[in-house]
Each structure stands twice: as C-alpha cells, then as structure tokens.
Chain A
Amino acid sequence: ETGVTQSPTHLIKTRGQQVTLRCSSQSGHNTVSWYQQALGQGPQFIFQYYREEENGRGNFPPRFSGLQFPNYSSELNVNALELDDSALYLCASSLLKTDTDTQYFGPGTRLTVL
C-alpha cells in the first residue's frame, strides 16, 4: 500500500509568482486536506476536497485554490505569492470525511518565497 506522496519536495519562488503543489492520496482514499505549517507553528487547515468537490475551507484568501482529480490526487495552487507564504505545505488523505476518520499525512513540500 502506497502512502501519501507530495511533489516537489522543495521549491523556491519569488514574490508575485504562482506555484502548484501536487499530492497523491493513499490508495482508496477519497478525501484530501491541505495544511500550511509555518516555521515553529502547528499546521493550519487550508481546505479539504471530497470526491472532487471542496468540502470546507480555512481562513485563507482566495489566491489559495485547489483541485481534486477523478483519481483523488490533488493540487494546491497559490497565486501572487507573498513572503509570508513561505512554509511547509502538508497534504493529508483519509478514507472518509467523518469526524474521527484518521488523516494520513505526506512528507510535505517546503516552499520558500524570496
């Protein structure tokens, strides 16, 4: 069974650019959540996708957007990058989206904005 994978591992961008991060869910999982983890902080919920539809969003501006594909893989897009967007971006998949369903995290993508 393959776990959650994310690409790329590291990324360096400049202010104002756009970035796309990718996530492959664990086999059989139809729910994907994205989190932003700034240095020294806990992860913060960005949004969740369930069967290709957005299923909840945290306190992030619209320039953070996402997609989920029919194979349940997912993308996180960030437009007009700002310095504060520098963080570890974590993807997590779960079998379901119920309250207690365990989320399985990928290793993350480290984004640096210069």
Chain B
Amino acid sequence: AQSVTQLGSHVSVSEGALVLLRCNYSSSVPPYLFWYVQYPNQGLQLLLKYTSAATLVKGINGFEAEFKKSETSFHLTKPSAHMSDAAEYFCAVSSTGGGNKLTFGTGTQLKVEL
C-alpha cells in the first residue's frame, strides 16, 4: 500500500517569500512522486515528477522538489512566491509495477499575500 501525507492544509506566504509545501510518503516499494497544482474550477496540472533519475527535480513555474529517501519526503519549494501561485497543491504517489494510478494527499491551499 502507498500513501502520502501533506502537512498543513493551508499555507500563507508573502509575495517574494520562500514557498515550502511538505509531503511525506509511505510505500513498500520504490515510489514515484508527483506534484500537481489545481486552480479554482480547473483540473490538475503537473508541476513536476520524480522518476528516480535525479533526486532534485525542477518543474514548471520555478518550482522544484527534492526526493529524500532517508526522510521519506518530497517537499515542494519555490524561492520567491508570486500572486499567481495561489492555488491548491497536491502531492501524489504511484508505485513500481503498479502502473500510473495515483494516490493523492489531501492537498495544501497556498495563499500569497502582498
């Protein structure tokens, strides 16, 4: 069985500040990890994914995430928040041999303030 836990259902940052959204995973086999963003009334858009090629993964819109096996974490970061980053962010996992069926976390709502 596999699962992800997102710590903090709501995160608020000032524009220009560091964004850090936390995700911890649990998996009995090597995981593949994904971050998706969801804007209001829209579907999910892939930000980045970890497929075991490199532990530091760079995605779209200036986001990146680092896979840390020792900490079972895959936290999402962005050096400088922009107002347009306000959205809900979901961490998800698929597992080796399980196909690309995703198990999602409960999401983190990011608010960016002036």
A58 CB, min distance to chain B CBs, angstroms: 8
Given A43-B90, A44-B104, A100-B49; A106-B43 close (CB under 8 Å): yes
Task: Identify which of A45, A94, A96 contacts B103 (C-beta below 8 A).
Answer: A45
Task: Identify which of B44, B45, B100 contacts A99 (C-beta below 8 A).
Answer: B100
Chain A residue nearest in CB terms to B98: A99
Task: Identify which of B41, B100, B105 contacts A101 (C-beta below 8 A).
Answer: B100
Q: Is B63 an interface residue (CB 8 A)?
A: no
Query: Complex: how many Å from CA A63 to CA B95?
Result: 27
Q: Is A103's CB under 8 angstroms from B99's CB?
A: no
Q: Is A97 an interface residue (CB 8 A)?
A: yes
Task: Identify which of B49, B98, B99 contacts A102 (C-beta below 8 A).
Answer: B49
Q: Is B94's CB under 8 angstroms from A100's CB?
A: yes
Query: Complex: how many Å from CA A35 to CA B45?
Result: 14
Q: Is B102's CB under 8 angstroms from A43's CB?
A: yes
Q: Is A25 an interface residue (CB 8 A)?
A: no
Q: Is B107's CB under 8 angstroms from A105's CB?
A: no
Q: Is A2 an interface residue (CB 8 A)?
A: no
Return the CB mask of B61-98 against A: 1 if under 8 Å, else 0: 00000000000000000000000000000101011111
- Interface residues, chain B, with chain A CB atoms under 8 Å away: 32, 36, 41-46, 49, 51, 90, 92, 94-107
In the complex, 23 of the A-B residue pairs with CB atoms within 8 angstroms, ordered by the A residue number, are A33-B100, A33-B102, A35-B102, A40-B107, A41-B107, A42-B90, A42-B104, A42-B105, A42-B106, A45-B103, A48-B101, A92-B43, A96-B100, A99-B94, A99-B96, A100-B94, A102-B100, A103-B100, A105-B45, A107-B42, A107-B43, A108-B42, A108-B43
- Interface residues, chain A, with chain B CB atoms under 8 Å away: 4, 31, 33, 35, 40-45, 48, 55-56, 58, 90, 92, 94, 96-108
